[in-house]
Amino acid sequence: MRREAEITVIGGGVVGLATAFGLLRAGRRVRVLDGADSDLRASQGNFGLVWLQGKGAGFAPYAQLSRDAVALWPDFAAEVQEASGIDLALDQSGGYEFFTEADEFSAFKADLEAQEATLGNRFSHEVIPGDDLRRSFPEIGPGVVGATFCPLDGHVNPLRLLRGLRVAVTALGGEIVQGAKVEKVTPVASGFEMALENGSRLDAPRVVLCAGLGAAPLAAQLGFATRVRAQRGELLITEKLETRLPFLSSTIRQVDEGGLQIGGTKAEVGPDDRETREMMAGLAQHAVTVLPALADVRVLRAWGALRVMSPDGYPVYTRSAAHPAAAMVTCHSGVTLAAFHGTKLADWLEDTAAAPDLEAFDEHRFALSASA
């Protein structure tokens, strides 16, 4: 007979499952409530980057957190793979940011200098002028003015990560309840009562809200001030190529099966995940400018997906002042931060002596912000 869960994680995406994975490793009995396929699932539309370049250039705590997460990834991937039997296809052999505009190139160089000032010898990068870049990669187009490179960057197969976490959580004794979209959470003396969309009800002594964009209506019910918003990104998927790309970049990556993902758009359009012809054309033009040979590659699919953005764009790790048995975890870099969520975050949730200092990510930073 399954024992009653001590902690219920609301949200069955990468963030919720990685959080559950960490709590299970810490010895907790965990239940994950996953929603419906019709939900706005960021975990099924993301780019799969494990990325450090540019993260936290203007916010030192985020630079430190991202660096910690990137360093944790190899061991985290091995643990998920051992528990699930699923190869996550992690590759952290370094990544490039390509630029076609000189002003953007200069601005990003300044960001990386700020990042290096924060991280010291825990971060390194190269700034490569366009002509030098083409001496190493003759296939790069003449429209590229330069690139930056960070040896710590990498990528993973995002759908295998999601599936691997699901299997691993179950293998470690966690319970994943499918089709369990929470419509209402009511604090009670024993914890929380949850009303699900399917008409059923559940009780939980502790909850961790990791529902992505689905957290918007539930956050207020639990006493949180954070209000997430959607930001649309669009992707192109090409046919599989026999030849491997000589590089990984934040906008062009070749997945382990051979196809290319081309992406990188941002649009503040609310909960609208439809792809647009204008953005698709822009993505294709950028890819061909970076690598002209891609003009002959067929695009097979395209889609839009929604990032989960906090008011200032940085992660939120916070406990409810009104209901201390409730915590909230939300971010838009769920893949990069998955290794942190699946390991050290459990100490913070359990408030152990080893808990990382996440004070900078508490939602009280929104208290004086009209955008919160």
pLDDT tens-place string over residues 334-354: 999 999 999 999 999 999 999
CA distance 272 to 306: 8
Give pLDDT tens digits for 145-176.
Answer: 999 999 999 999 999 999 999 999 999 999 99
Q: Would you call 313 exposed, middle or buried from its count of C-beta atoms within 10 A (0-12, 13-18, 19+)?
A: middle
Range 118-131 average pLDDT: 96
Question: What type of residue is 193?
Answer: E
Which pLDDT belongs to residue 372? 47
Range 86-111 average pLDDT: 97
Quick one: which of 55, 39, 36, 214 has its CA closest to 119? 55
Residue 72's SS3 state is: helix
CA distance 148 to 137: 14
Question: Starting from the edge strand earliest in sequence, which strands make up the sheet with 95-99, in order?
Answer: 95-99, 146-150, 126-129
Give pLDDT tens digits for 25-37.
Answer: 999 999 999 987 7
Residue 302's SS3 state is: strand
pLDDT of residue 38 exceeding 90: no
Give pLDDT tens digits for 202-245.
Answer: 999 999 999 999 888 899 999 999 999 999 999 999 999 999 99
Which pLDDT belongs to residue 1? 47
Q: Would you call 121 exposed, middle or buried from its count of C-beta atoms within 10 A (0-12, 13-18, 19+)?
A: exposed
pLDDT confidence band for 371 (50 / 70 / 90): very low
pLDDT confidence band for 370 (50 / 70 / 90): very low
Which pLDDT belongs to residue 4? 86
> Which token pair is 371?
């955008």
Give pLDDT tens digits for 260-289.
Answer: 999 889 999 888 888 899 999 999 999 999
pLDDT confidence band for 3 (50 / 70 / 90): low
